[in-house]
Amino acid sequence: MRATIFYGLISVLLLTGCNFHEEPIKQWQTAVQGAYHASLSQDGTQLLLASIHHGASLWDTTKNARLYNWNHHEGEQTQVLTTAISPDGRFALTAEERDLVLWSTQNGKAFWLWKAPDDIYDAALTDDGRFALLGLGNYRATFFDVRNGGVVREFRHQGPVRSVAISNDGRTALTGSEDLTARVWDINTGKSRHILRHSNQIRLVEISENGRLGLTDASLEPAKIWNLDTGKLIHELDTKGANLASARFIRGGRQLVTGSTNRLVQLWDVPTGNLVKSWKLPRTSKKQYTSALVHDIAAAGKNLLAVASDGYLFLLKR
C-alpha cells in the first residue's frame, strides 16, 4: 500500500513540477506532552491550543508568545477537547465533552460557561462570536448562543455530526455526519439546501470564507470540493492514503490546504484540483508521536502555519 501511494504521488510531482515533501523552515514547541486539539486564526497570528496536561492556551504566533492560560474552573486543569477561533480573531471557544466557554482574545476574560445538549465533536464560531455551531453526538448540529446561552436552531442528521463549518457572513453552514452525508444549510431559515452523499462516514468538512465552496472528506474516499450554491461536485482530490484531519481555503478560495493524520500537508489549486506542493512535518521525538495528525493550517503572509498533535507549530514556505 505504501509503495502504491508513493509512486502515485511521484506521478503528481512529475506532472506539476513541484518539490515533493518539503520540510518546514521553522518550528516551535507549544505543548510538551502534545495537544488534544488546536485552532489557528484565519490570518495565522493566533493559536488556540488544547494541551494534554495543561488546559488551553492562546498564543501570539508572530512573537511565539503565550498570551493566556485558560481553564474552565479556577484551580483545575480542564481537559479541553475542542477549540475554535472566530473569523475576525476576537473570540475563542474551548469545550470539554459538553461544557463550553467563550473567551475574549483581547483581554483573556471568559463570557460564561455553558452546557451543550450532548457530547461535542466539533465547533465553529460566527464572526461576532455570538453563536457557535456545534457538531453533537445526538445526531444534530446545534446553533448555540454562546453569549446568552441556549439553542437557537438545530440541523438534523441521522447519525452523530463529526464536523461543522460556517461561512464568514454566518449565513451558510456545512455539516458532516456518520450518516454518510454532508449537508449545506441556510442558517437563517434552518432549511437544508443540498445533501452531499457519500459511501462512507464523513470525517471532515470545511467551507470557504464566502460560503460558496466546500470540502468533504469521508473514510476511504478521495476528498471532494463542492459548489455549495448548486450542490455540484467540482473535483475529487488525489488524497488516497491520506486521511484528512484539517483543511482551509485560502487566497479567496483559489487554493486549498489540507492536513492529514500522518503529518502530511498538501496545497491544492482549486480551479484545477491539482496538487501544487506538499510538506511532511518532521517527527519531534524518536519514540513518540510517529503518526501525529495536523490539527489546523492557516496562511501566514506568504507562508503557511501548521500545528500538529505533538504540540509543535511549523512554518512552511509556500
Strands (E), 71-227: 82-85, 91-95, 99-104, 110-115, 120-125, 131-136, 140-145, 151-156, 161-166, 172-177, 181-186, 192-197, 202-207, 213-218, 224-227
Q: So what's the pLDDT on residue 3?
A: 38
Q: Is the dihedral of CA 46, 95, 161, 175 positive or negative?
A: negative
- Per-residue pLDDT, 186: 97
Look up the CATH superfamily of 2-317: YVTN repeat-like/Quinoprotein amine dehydrogenase (2.130.10.10)
Q: What is the pLDDT of residues 254-301, one digit of tens each?
A: 999 999 999 999 999 999 999 999 999 998 876 554 679 999 999 999
**How high is the pLDDT of residue 21?**
77
Q: What is the pLDDT of residue 113?
A: 96
Q: What's the farthest any 2 CA atoms get from each other in the chain?
A: 56
> How far apart are the C-alpha atoms of 255 and 270, rounded to whole Å?
5
- Residues of the chain with pLDDT > 70, as a percent, come to 92
pLDDT attached to residue 286: 61
Cα 226–Cα 231–Cα 235 angle in degrees, nearest 5:
25
pTM comes to 0.91
Low-confidence ranges of the chain (pLDDT < 70): 1-20, 286-290
209 - beta bridge partners? Answer: none
What are the domain boundaries of the chain?
2-317
Give the model confidence (pLDDT) of 46-68 as tens digits: 999 999 989 999 999 999 999 99
